[in-house]
């Protein structure tokens, strides 16, 4: 727990002071998370969920673990926002199946053509109206609440133990993980490089430059909804390519 500069009687005031200090962090996380959300989701709701996550972080933080508070709080804040969104905007199983079909269609067409698939081609491939395809992509935004470096997580969003984590030799484990990480980065870099230019730029600005949805929209001179759509399409392509790569490996 963070060292308390006040007596226990003043804990409430101390907590309010800390919330005020870290509110910009909450707003920043909300601004970045907005890129994966439908337009009807209010950013103020995200901030509200995030404040609860911040309060939880203030209570649970243990400086003895050698992790910076900002790092720990970011995970708690983002997790609280996502939990809140899942209860507010649940996506039915049938919609998830459609999103998966679209993802696989992007991957299959691109594997055949050797270039990024156009939405029109995917619509024809799936025998869908273009507007219906775009509606599925839009609906998939709520499922894209993940950064690229979290794509290896399970369906529940948690990282799970694998055989390599069971290795007894910590040095061997570290070496193995370093090789695997380099390979994963190479696969990801190759997949990103094959994205259409606008989608590639959105990915670069969001994941490398850490910009928010609003900031990216200003730079690219596009609407926030268009940036969000480009992000969703990029994630669908990347998930499809990584899934195909995994099947090829095994």
Q: Quick one: pLDDT at residue 51?
A: 94
Mean residue pLDDT across the chain: 78
**Mean pLDDT over residues 30-58, rounded?**
86
More confident residue, 12 or 156: 12
- To the question of pTM greater than 0.85 for the whole model, the response is no
Give exposure, 189-207, as e/b (b: 16+ Cβ within 10 Å). eebbebbbeebbbbbebbb
**Mean pLDDT over residues 56-63, rounded?**
89
Angle between helices 224-249 and 213-220 (to 10 degrees): 100
**Mean pLDDT over residues 175-195, rounded?**
70
More confident residue, 10 or 108: 108
Cα distances (angstroms) measured from residue 76 to each of 25, 56, 60, 73: 12, 7, 10, 5
Q: Which of 244, 246, 243, 233 is nearest to 116 (CA)?
A: 233
More confident residue, 157 or 179: 179
Q: Report residue 151's pLDDT band, with 50, 70 and 90 as the boundaries.
A: very low
**159, pLDDT greater than 70:** no
More confident residue, 247 or 4: 247
Q: Quick one: pLDDT at residue 170?
A: 47
HEC letters along the chain: CCCCCCCHHHHHHHHHHHHHHHHHHHHHHHHHHHHHCCCCCCHHHHHHHHHHHHHHHHHHCCHHHCCCHHHHHHHHHHHHHHHHHHHHCCCCHHHHHHHHHHHHHHHHHHHHHCCCCCHHHHHHHCCCCHHHHHHHHHHHHHHCCCCHHHCCCCCCCCCCCCHHHHCCCHHHHHHHHHHHHHHHHHHHHHHHHCCCHHHHHHHHHHHHCCCCHHHHHHHHCCCHHHHHHHHHHHHHHHHHHHHHHHHHHC
**15, pLDDT greater than 90:** no
Of the candidate ranges 43-57, 61-75, 80-94, the one whose mean pLDDT is the lowest = 80-94
Residues 6+ apart with CB under 8 A from 46: 29, 30, 33, 34, 37, 81, 84, 85
**Mean pLDDT over residues 174-190, rounded?**
64
**124, pLDDT greater than 90:** yes
pLDDT tens figures, 192-241: 888 999 999 999 999 888 899 999 999 999 999 899 889 988 988 888 87
Q: Quick one: pLDDT at residue 222?
A: 95
First-last CA distance in the chain: 44
**172, pLDDT greater than 70:** no
- Portion of the chain with pLDDT greater than 90, in percent: 30
Q: Quick one: pLDDT at residue 99?
A: 86
Q: Quick one: pLDDT at residue 149?
A: 47
**Mean pLDDT over residues 129-144, rounded?**
80
**128, pLDDT greater than 80:** yes
More confident residue, 40 or 89: 40
């Amino acid at each position: 727990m963070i060292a308390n500069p006040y007596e226990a009687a003043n804990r409430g005031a101390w907590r309010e002071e800390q919330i005020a200090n870290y509110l910009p962090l909450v707003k920043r996380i909300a601004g970045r998370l907005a890129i994966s959300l439908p337009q009807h989701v209010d950013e103020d709701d995200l901030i509200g969920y995030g404040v609860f996550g911040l309060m939880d972080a203030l209570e649970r933080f243990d400086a003895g673990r050698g992790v910076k508070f900002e790092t720990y709080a970011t995970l708690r804040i983002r997790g609280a926002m996502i939990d809140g969104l899942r209860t507010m905007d649940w996506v039915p199983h049938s919609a998830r199946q459609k999103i998966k079909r679209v993802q696989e269609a992007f991957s299959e067409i691109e594997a055949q053509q050797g270039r990024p698939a156009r939405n029109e081609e995917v619509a024809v491939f799936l025998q869908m109206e273009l507007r219906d395809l775009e509606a599925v992509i839009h609906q998939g935004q709520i499922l894209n609440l993940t950064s690229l470096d979290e794509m290896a997580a399970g369906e529940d969003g948690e990282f799970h133990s694998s055989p390599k984590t069971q290795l007894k030799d910590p040095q061997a484990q570290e070496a193995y993980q370093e090789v695997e990480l380099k390979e994963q980065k190479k696969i990801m870099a190759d997949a990103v490089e094959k994205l259409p230019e606008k989608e590639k730029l959105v990915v670069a600005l969001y994941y490398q430059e850490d910009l928010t949805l609003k900031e990216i929209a200003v730079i690219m001179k596009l609407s926030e909804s268009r940036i969000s759509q480009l992000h969703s399409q990029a994630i669908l392509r990347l998930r499809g390519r990584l899934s195909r790569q995994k099947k090829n490996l095994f």
